[in-house]
Amino acid sequence: MPSASPSSKRSAAKPAEVPNPFHNPSHPEDRTNPRTVVAMVRQDSVRIMHARGHIDDQQFMAAVKFERLLACEAGLRAYDPGRVVVDGGKRFDPIGPHQLDASRELAAARTLLGRSCYAFVSNVCGAGVSLAEAGFGSDHIGKLVAGRMLKICLTDLAEAWGRRR
């Protein structure tokens, strides 16, 4: 299964008309107080599957936790204790406890799922790759296989993280 880089296959953001959160109904609707505004919306496969009832709440929470762990781990950089900080330069902080915990949990998830399933879940949940682009083909059967594989992987993660009853 090919792995996708987050920037190359990230689901493209599309303009959509959404309700204006700052609309004030007590004032007349005009150019400065519109009822709807155009916003850039990125479709997310996991949230769409949850909204349609294809995955349950525990699987969805496992996907959200996995996404947050990946985001936390993404901030990791190599620490150079010999680096000289110049005036006005940014002091580099070592790895924090949250990043350490995130990388430990992701390492446990990688062991649980295996290399190819971990790459698949990180592409779909973390990088926002659609199920059609996940490596099983864009036809109907490929999407079904990708959806079932995602459900199985999220069930395993939910059970490992204690979110399954």
Q: What is the pLDDT of residue 158?
A: 94
Tell me if the pTM is above 0.75: no
Residue 62 lies in a domain: yes
> Residue 71 belongs to what domain range?
1-19+35-76+96-165
Q: What is the pLDDT of residues 26-49, one digit of tens each?
A: 989 888 888 888 776 666 788 888
Q: How many domains does the chain have?
A: 1
Residue 150 lies in a domain: yes
Residue 24 lies in a domain: no
Alpha-carbon distance of 24 to 110, in angstroms, equals: 48
Residue 109 lies in a domain: yes
Residue 90 lies in a domain: no
Mean pLDDT of the residues in the chain:
80
DSSP collapsed to 3 states, 44-56: CHHHHHHHCCCCC
Q: What is the pLDDT of residues 67-101, one digit of tens each?
A: 889 888 876 555 566 666 666 666 666 677 888 89
Cβ atoms 132, 138 nearer than 8 A? yes
Residue 81 lies in a domain: no
Q: What is the pLDDT of residue 112?
A: 95
Band of pLDDT at residue 159, cut at 50, 70 and 90: very high
Q: How confident is the model over 117-146, as a mean pLDDT? A: 85
Residue 25 lies in a domain: no
Residue 4 lies in a domain: yes
